[in-house]
Structure 1
Amino acid sequence: MENKLHERSDSDLLEQKTVEYVEERLRYPHENMNENLIQYECLSSNPIPQSLIEKSKEMYNLYQQIKEANDDYEEWIQLLSSVNDHEFLKNTVEIRIGKNLTDKKLWKAYIKYLESYNVKEMLQVYSKYCRFFLDDVEMLKEYLEKGKQHGSIEVIWKPQYSFERQCIRKE
């Protein structure tokens, strides 16, 4: 009998974690919002809070706007920033960069956004950009200027510029 109670408790915990996961997904823009609402309804023993319904509608509308702005990188990034979650924006943009590393316009739009958000992150992205696009002398000049203006950063590769420092990894 005690084992059955323990199993039920594990099942309840799993259900609660799944509901929390689905609820979290409803707070970010993506194409499966309606499916997630249905999942929440099926999995939760409570009705969907009105605030969550409104948030999911807001995120679905935002998702539609993001899709429409797909080719206008600055607007696309601006819409992503309206979620007010930098990690979400960073992950979304960097995944997209990873799918097409040679898209200079996307890199530059991301660098521009980062300049107003986090200068150290901006310098890190500049550093990667300049090592990836060795022939882009203009961006290298900008990077050197920004580096002198904002101070040093740590890089994992051998530093080439005066404001870069070698990142020491402790093992």
Structure 2
Amino acid sequence: MHRASALTPSAPFFGRHAERYRLSTPHTPRAPKIARDFLVTLIGVQHPSLIEPGTLCMSEVVTNAIRHTRSPRIAIDVSIGDERVLVRVHDNRPCPLPASRKPPHEEFEHGRGLALIEAHAARWGITFFGGLSPRSKAVWFELHETAETRGAGAIRTDLP
């Protein structure tokens, strides 16, 4: 079962060989594609089985930041470990909070984002920054590679 949490997982669980990357993109309709491409570049070789769920979750979280905030920049942090990937999407508006709700009718184009994240991420949540008067938030999700999925969707590097 997937659960939302207000606590952002800390980077140390990735171990000392973890890689961390950051992208800052303007508040633009191109941001979700830029963020997806960024993630694929980072995890494509090491975690090919996480590309599909990762790009789906990334697209939803960045789209929500663009659609529901006026943040001039969206910051994206990606931490990569041997079996896990953690993505944090920061904006400067702590409210409105994203809320997972019953998925709407299949014909609706909007309102399914967090349900998709709930279905594809191992965990997800929201972290607030600024103490009792939050000034910003990060919506994050975590992807886990399992023995069954390791190697699935592998990118072939032996092609001419």
Normalising to structure 2: TM-score of the pair? 0.28
Q: Would you tell me which structure has more strand in proportion to its own residues?
A: 2
TM-score by length of 1: 0.27
| Structure with the larger RCO, 1 or 2 (CA within 8 Å, 6+ apart) | 2
